[in-house]
Structure 1
Amino acid sequence: MSINRPLKAAVLRGWRRCCPRCGKGALLHKYLKVHDRCGSCGQELHHHRADDGPAYLTILIVGHILAPLLHVVFVQFRPEPWIMASGFGAGSVVLCLYLLPRIKGGVVAFQWARKLNGFGTDASGNVLKTR
């Protein structure tokens, strides 16, 4: 079975929180809830199984950004502990809130592009033929 859906374009559309197929319809509503279908092209999106993957990836990325930054700030400037805690705490919350819906969009788009979790089947569950 060949894979003929464009991965890079789909993931970029998902990052923008748009439909991975057309790039016009909204992928998410209510911050993280995925629409059942695209309002523009009609692509069914209810098949996704993102589950905890986006949250895990968000924590992984934020940790890899802020941990070295925390070390550099502490070694170079030696701020008070309460300043470090409040600054990096607020920074991590803001960064997580920014990244989480974008990463979820990318994960759903990846699943669509690779025809995972039902994205490669029709309404009756039959596997779609590729050209």
Structure 2
Amino acid sequence: MTASVESLPGERIGLVKSMARGFVCRCPHCGEGKLFGKFLKVRPACDACGLEFHHHRADDLPPYVVIFIIGHIVGYFILELETNYDVPLWFQLSFWPIVTLGSALALLQPVKGAVVGLQYALGMGGFATLPTGPSVAIARSEEVQLGPSDNPTPGLGRA
């Protein structure tokens, strides 16, 4: 019986999966623990697997990515509305800032989580070491143990 790569505690999760887990605000390693304690405040460590988050360096990348995405989407719709419809200026000046601010706030936390997942997947900063929390110790104790062998050398099992 072989264990899948995902169930091995010492294995790093792939780039896309860890970024997707971060995007939904979960731990990029186990996918169970919460990533954020407050709106944009990353927790010090995962409650489920013990992965430390305190050393992440998301810094300015999430706002830049959000500005890039929202600017293109809202800019496209403003251009379409201006060229194809006769919309009053008061509507444009009141509607688009609300849409821009609301969508930017809605996207900021998931994008920051994805950036933390990116840093974890690439082993950047303090993410070079994998967690050694309680669930890792439990998972290691559940691994298949080799039985006694005829090998006279102590400490070595069957090969």
Q: What TM-score do the two structures reach when normalised by structure 1?
A: 0.87
Say whether 1:48 aligns with 2:56.
yes
Q: Which residue of 2 aligns with 1:89?
A: 97
Following the alignment from structure 2 to structure 1, what is the Cα–Cα distance between the partners of residues 12 and 39?
30
Partner of 1:128: none
Compute the displacement of 1:68 (Å): 1.1
- Distance change >3 Å, CA 122–CA 19, structure 1 → 2: closer
Structure having the higher Rg: 2
Aligned residue identity for 1:60? F
Q: 1:14-72 deviations in whole A, cap 9, x for unaligned? A: 00000000111100121000001001111111110001110111011000101111000
RMSD (CA atoms): 1.6
Query: Which residue of the partner structure matches residue 129 of structure 1?
Result: none
1:79 to 87, 103, 107: 87
Report the counterpart of residue 33 of structure 2 in structure 1. Answer: 25
- Please say if residues 62 and 111 of structure 2, whose CA atoms lie closer than 8 Å, have aligned partners that are also in contact: yes
Per-residue CA distance 1:65-87 (angstroms, 9 max, x = gap): 01111000111112111101111
Distance 2:92 2:99 in 1: 10
User: How many percent of aligned residue pairs carry the same amino acid?
Assistant: 37
In structure 2, what is the Cα distance between the partners aligned to 1:46 and 1:99?
22
Matched, 1:68 2:79: no
1:108 maps to which of 91, 103, 116: 116
Q: CA deviation at 1:121?
A: 3.8
Secondary structure of the 2:126 match is: coil
> Are residue 34 (structure 1) and residue 28 (structure 2) matched?
no
Q: Which moved further from structure 2: 74-83 or 7-16?
A: 74-83
Unmatched segments (≥5 aa) in structure 2:
1-10, 132-159
How many residue pairs get aligned? The number is 121
Pair 13,122 (structure 1): closer, same or farther in 2 beyond 3 Å: closer
- Contact 1:5 1:114 (C-alpha < 8 Å) held by counterparts: no
Equivalent residue, structure 1, for 2:143: none
3-state secondary structure, aligned to 2:55: coil
**Counterparts of 1:19 and 1:10, CA distance in 2:** 8
Which segments of structure 1 move beyond 3 Å, counting only runs of 4 or more?
A: none
